[in-house]
Structure 1
């Protein structure tokens, strides 16, 4: 826990419109990239100020002296609509489990989804115990991502507010990997946490198969590199990339697109202009999408190095290298992930590596699972995939 950084309790960053200079000094002294971190915090403050200004303008426009009455009405309507949507799901208990690469040994995510009338409950009993490494997830994180995925599946048009989540209950045993408590480390919680909603969707498939998607490259691939640049200045740079989404009952999965996170991949131009990294290759990964009536989204291939005269460091924090995203309704799994150095040596999914200045790392991100049986796919869609280079002729012949 304490290797992750200083533990700051809940404190006001601003009070009465005044910046807490002491708190800002503590933050700046305990992060690797103070310029970027403080910039993020200032951006959040400005966003809050803009939101307050716009809210006051709206109240003035409509002659409102308070918004509690309006808020209660929106919340009540949202709750009513959500309960109606839940009632449309057959009552029952639906289960699913997913294995992730974990750290040193696999981590199991297991869930039981119970639908009773207009109540929706998820229980993660049976999931792995918390790890000694920083991949544990707080219950709030688990709750946020699971409720988001549930709402996307059954009631995407209902506003996000307290009312829309009142009928949904999320539980996980205290001390399990999805309900970490202090001082369990949680720095890389996204690696495991993003599997929780996908596990729930897999359980929901048994109740509402037309409203769920196949498994995808769930975790964001956070590419963190640090060392010294050509001028001898220290740098620490983080960029994000994603594999393929799982296919759905009506169309192919999106390529190089994350779910459940909406984080977008960082453009090459931004990476190279803001860091010593050099991107030698960035393209969709052929044959990575799982076969099916609808194909899983493609992962991507990223080859990069660093402009430096000294060794540089690269902590791998990835998943799906041993357990590929699974398909649904007869669809095939997507391709497993792979990480190579100098196109020869395979790296582990979670470990700190130190490389020489000339070393090149290749990331092969996983693809999403397919949906439906491959033999049901329109032959013209297969032909288009081959023409576009999404699929090799050999894979087309073997799978379709």
Structure 2
């Protein structure tokens, strides 16, 4: 595994600041999660003589990382929310620029009360996203076609609504700058329907270290159960959904009560997706690449039998400096050979 010379590009409001920043960059750290937590970025710069002009709050920051040989790719896009200077009387100065994927002062955090009758989710998400200041709302085709008699925003922000409804329809939701995305959970696809490229991690090539438990018993359930009110029967009823491939006698009872049977079915199926994700978890640290994306698939090879296999990516931590670039990938949902050691059949 040879050294790969790291490379980066930094843009503020679409203007390339790389030539000004690159000689001063001490570190760039980016946290890219699968939706619930806002993405974040921190750039630390050597600030000799205070020569760097301070960026302003809410300036749009875009960061591209990679290496000289393979090229760079976008790993963060969001709004600057903090600029901090530190220094000593001896002359040492450092400038830290912090940014979030969600603009903390934007309209997307304003609470609202509204509803839409007999509509498709994609149409509702785009209309309400535009009203919240989103320049674009991308919705997976499978999610966009979901119809309901009643969609509501109940004294919540667009961000809060997006997180809540994503849990009900089996989606992951995230905001990147002024763009909102609704992705089908566990699908391995972007909101535009394209496959997220598999991330290949191999011993002797780009694998640095790992810490994985491919089998977790506590979160496993055979069924997911959701309560809903049936006007026809005048009482509460339950909707159950089987979780494919699960070996458990337990039933996961949702804390959310659905408004009708159709909603209960969606919530139960969404719960089933979450159960399948939680069957194993861990982290894989590897040579840095911008290709690692939440909802994509990581294929691990050469760690050991029972650990090698396929996993769903739920988060990526990028750690860049002039000395090197590596990422820590959080994984769940073991698949394929992961968790299976064929040697157990030969024991004894």
TM class by shorter-chain length? under 0.3
Greater relative contact order, per chain length (Cα 8 Å cut-off, separation 6+): 2
* Structure having the larger proportion of residues in strand: 2
Q: TM-score, normalised by structure 1?
A: 0.22
* Structure having the larger proportion of residues in helix: 1
Q: TM-score, normalised by structure 2?
A: 0.24
